[in-house]
Amino acid sequence: MTAWYQSSCHIKTSLWGKTANSLPVMTALKDDINVDVLVIGAGFCGLSAALHLAEKGVEVGVVEAHEPGWGASGRNGGQIIPGLKIFPDEIVSRFGSERGERIVNTVSAAPKMVYDLIQKYKIDCDLRRTGWIQLAKGPVGMKTTDAHVQQWGNRNISVKALSFDDIQKKVGTSAYTGGLIDERGGNLHPLKYARGLAKACISLGVSIFCDTPATSVKRIGNRWVIKTLNGTIKSETVIICTNGYTGSMLPGLSQSIIPVLTGVIATTPLTGSLKDKILPGRQGVADTRRLLSWFGFDCENRLLFGSRVNSQKELIDKKNFTFGLRRMKEIFPKVDNTNLSHMWTGRVALTLDHVPHVHKLADGLYSGLGFNGRGVAMATMMGEILANHCILNKDNNNFLPLTSMPKIPFNRFRGIGVAVALSWKRMMDTARP
Ligand SMILES: Cc1cc2nc3c(=O)[nH]c(=O)nc-3n(C[C@H](O)[C@H](O)[C@H](O)COP(=O)(O)OP(=O)(O)OC[C@H]3O[C@@H](n4cnc5c(N)ncnc54)[C@H](O)[C@@H]3O)c2cc1C
């Protein structure tokens, strides 16, 4: 039987894998070592946590089952999305006005943290600070984008409403009713960004071990003992950043999120008027539909289109991507959806309350996960938040409260649950666009 850490590696065949700069040199752990803090998982969250700790002089090790960026961080749409999916006012009503507004400010600042890190460590990752567009279809969608425009406006953050005509000019489609543009957003090459963060970590002395899956985490005496395939690490503190790829290493943690496989297709480079008419400003775009679609361009004018896949098995076969191919045709009828250059999948980690979770699982054991498809900025920000929790050993009060491990009810039936939820979302999209 194949062990979970030997699962297929689409990162190598994805568009990002084919176009990224080389991975910094690193090896698997083959010894027993001691570090102050061990980070498990080298996506944006784990790498950002390691980087922020190393900046403060903490001795950090990172173990990654595959290579930095192998998970969602190296496979995503690269859209730097400001804010959470839920409205700023809802954050305030859930967490109270004082803390709620601090959380709103923290999530609002997340894109800037990405830009600052890229600048500070000179990360070459095709960054475009062109804003982020959200598209609405029908009255339900418009209610969502209008509420975001109004609620961010009330906080002196200019998020502009887009009309049907604006969408035709800025996006090149008449498939949506209206939407918004948020200038805080941008887009980048996600695997280049992940590898750049890894390089920055290494430059500050962080030891990153690839092909080193952690298999257990146990408290023995006054240290955490983390077993990997060929070595053991002892540390005072452990930060788990495994998100949608969380396995059985720590019983219960994988049950706190719902991992959902999503798919991405990339066309061959568009040419002529199509390349200029679609997204001339080269923003990243997502819509508000329950089964959402998102799209954007890479630096070589390939149109990337992301949506649900038909099967929750990681099948790289056109039949698995028919939903996305159909949606792309509805939105851009002139784009040839038969001429694809790449297809790949990745796992998004959803939470039932639609916000990320910061856990204190035990003394000196933290995790941050559940970015609900908005992790480029938010997972980078979460890394800093987790680093601060480790250093200060207290709730820093500017983000979501630390919680112990919640359980998703009936999590054993997650597979069935995902299928039912997807069918329900499709039905609602059709009934109330
Ligand atoms: C197709 C797709 C498109 C997306 N598009 C966007 C987008 O445009 N904008 C946006 O903001 N967000 C997007 N997201 C979400 C975003 O990619 C994630 O939220 C973010 O990358 C999560 O980062 P992470 O570091 O928490 O997890 P990951 O990047 O998933 O990293 C987790 C890592 O943990 C490792 N791991 C797991 N278990 C172990 C273990 N036991 N030992 C060692 N290592 C382990 C895995 O190998 C993996 O590398 C998208 C996601 C997908 C899948």
The string of DSSP letters for 214-258 reads: EEEEEEETTEEEEEESS-EEEEEEEEE--GGG--SSSTTGGGGSE
Query: How high is the pLDDT of residue 337?
Result: 85
CA distance to 102, 104, 108, 151, per residue, from 155 (Å): 12, 10, 11, 7
pLDDT of residue 1: 44
Residue 176 lies in a domain: no
Which atom belonging to ligand 1 lies closest to the Cα atom of 70?
Answer: 49
- Residue 300 included in any domain: no
Does residue 278 sit within a domain? no
Q: Look up residue 113 and give its two tokens.
A: 């943290």
400 vs 335, more confident: 335
Ligand 1 pocket member 207 (CB < 6 A): no
First-to-last CA distance in the chain? 44
DSSP state of 398: S
pLDDT tens across 31-74, in order?
999 999 999 999 999 999 999 999 999 999 999 999 999 999 99
User: What span, in angstroms and rounded, lies between the C-alpha atoms of 416 and 211?
Assistant: 31
pLDDT > 80? residue 413: no
Residue 123 lies in a domain: yes
3-state secondary structure of 150: helix
Q: What is the pLDDT of residue 430?
A: 52
Element (H, E) at 118: helix 97-120
Q: Is residue 20 scored above 90 in pLDDT?
A: yes
Phi and psi torsions of 107, nearest 5°: -70, -30
Probe target for ligand 1 pocket from 9, 15, 233, 348, with the most ligand atoms within 8 Å of CB: 348
Domain count, the chain: 1
Domain-embedded: residue 79? yes
Which CA distances in Å does 37 have to 9, 34, 51, 63? Answer: 28, 9, 12, 11
- The fraction of the chain above a pLDDT of 90, given in percent, is 80
pLDDT of 7 over the 80 cut: no
Residue 140's pLDDT band (cuts 50, 70, 90): very high
pLDDT of residue 8: 52
User: CA-to-CA distance for 126 and 119, rounded, in angstroms?
Assistant: 12
The 3-state DSSP class for residue 172 equals coil
CATH of the domain at 421: 3.50.50.60
Residue-wise pLDDT for 254-267, tens only, equals 989 999 999 999 99
Q: What's the gap in Å between 72 CA and the centre of ligand 1?
A: 3
Query: pLDDT band at residue 327, thresholds of 50, 70 and 90?
Result: very high
Q: From ligand 1's centre to the CA of 373, what distance in Å? A: 9
With a 6 Å cutoff on the Cβ, whether 70 touches ligand 1 is yes
Query: How many other C-beta atoms lie within 10 A of the C-beta of residue 407?
Result: 9
Q: Which residue has the tokens 């730097």?
A: 80
Beta strands 223-228; 33-40: pairing state: unpaired
Beta strands 214-220 and 223-228: pairing type?
antiparallel
Q: How far, in Å, is the centroid of ligand 1 from the Cα of 195?
A: 13
| Local structure of residue 403 (DSSP, 8 states) | B
What is the position in ligand 1's atom list of the atom closest to the CA of 68?
49
Cβ burial of 315 (10 Å; 0-12, 13-18, 19+) is: middle
Note the pLDDT tens digit of each residue in 357-385: 999 999 999 999 999 999 999 999 999 99
Evaluate if residue 397 carries a pLDDT over 90: no
Does some domain include residue 95?
Answer: yes
Query: Considering the domain boundaries, does residue 326 fall inside one?
Result: no
Predicted pLDDT of residue 16: 96
Q: In what order do the strands lie in the sheet with 294-297?
A: 159-162, 178-182, 132-136, 284-287, 294-297, 303-308, 258-267, 340-350
249 ligand 1 Cβ < 6 A: yes
Cβ partners under 8 Å of residue 363, min gap 6: none
Give 42's contacts (C-beta < 8 A, 6+ positions apart).
50, 62, 64, 67, 68, 69, 70, 194, 198, 208, 210, 241
111 lines ligand 1 (CB under 6 A): no
User: What's the domain range around 360?
Assistant: 1-149+187-257+349-433
393 CB burial (10 A radius; 0-12, 13-18, 19+): exposed
Q: Average pLDDT of the chain?
A: 91
The number of the ligand 1 atom at minimal distance from the alpha carbon of 375 is 19
Asked, for residue 271, whether it belongs to a domain, the answer is no
CA 298 – ligand 1 centroid, Å: 19
Question: Do residues 24 and 47 lie in contact, with contact meaning Cβ atoms separated by under 8 Å?
Answer: no
CB of residue 45 inside a 6 A radius of ligand 1 = yes
pLDDT in tens, 173-224: 999 999 999 999 999 999 999 999 999 999 999 999 999 999 999 999 999 9
Tell me, using a 6 A CB cutoff, whether residue 243 lines ligand 1. yes
Q: What are phi and psi of 399, to 5 degrees?
A: -140, -170
* pLDDT for the residue 351: 92
Confidence of residue 311 (pLDDT cuts 50, 70, 90): confident
Say how far apart CA 162 and CA 132 lie, in whole Å.
12
Q: Is 383 in the pocket of ligand 1 (CB under 6 A)?
A: no
Residue type, 55: E
**Between these two residues, 321 and 414, which has the higher pLDDT value?**
321
Residue with tokens 């400003």, as numbered in its chain: 281
pLDDT of residue 46: 98
